[in-house]
Amino acid sequence: MRKIRTKKVTNEEYDAIVKAAEPWTILGVEKDSLPQCIQGYPPEKIHMIAASGSVIPIDTEYGKEVGGIDVFRNAEDDPVNFNKDHYVIVLDSRTNEKRLFGPIRDSEHWIDSIPSRFDDIEVIIRINRDDCQKKQ
């Protein structure tokens, strides 16, 4: 099993996901609005990015989960249409920091079509990177 990386998520990056909608509502996200630590995806590879979260954590195998990000990539070299990288945002209750775990290869990593729960995504999240840079 491969090791899952963990990176810090700033409050501004997290707030852009959580405060944009009702808890755990799936939102469309622009690449520039991803947490800085996962912005390395080449634009031509990205098909869709979705995120959701809540200020009320749920217990998962990774800890107190407060958000998640799914990056659907065009799978040009695979026998499927898409690869999904899933990231989990976990709250560290000791430090109140948010940590990003991933990419996680779940049961939807290799898929031919985007799951129907993503059909009605309308909201696009965009945060001002300049503001994040100043506040870090």
pLDDT tens, 72-92? 999 988 999 999 999 999 988
* Higher local confidence (pLDDT), 48 or 19: 48
Model pLDDT, residue 86:
92
The pairing of strands 97-104 and 27-29 is unpaired
- HEC readout, the chain: CCCCEEEEECHHHHHHHHCCCCCCCCEEECHHHCCHHHCCCCHHHEEEEEEEEEEEEEEECCEEEEEEEEEEEECCCCCCCEEEEEEEEEEECCCCEEEEEEEECCCCCEECCCCHHHCCCCCEECCCHHHHHHHC
| Residue 13 lies in domain | 5-135
Whole-model pTM over 0.85: no
Which residues, including other chains, have CB under 8 Å from residue 129's CB and lie 6 or more apart? 32
Percent of the chain with pLDDT over 70: 84
Q: What is the mean pLDDT of residues 109-132?
A: 69
Is residue 113 over pLDDT 90?
yes
Model pLDDT, residue 21:
67
Q: What is the mean pLDDT of residues 46-57?
A: 86
Is residue 22 over pLDDT 90?
no
Count other C-beta atoms under 10 Å from residue 18's C-beta: 22
Number of structural domains (the chain) is 1
- Four-residue CA torsion sign, 21, 110, 8, 63: positive
Q: What is the mean pLDDT of residues 109-126?
A: 79
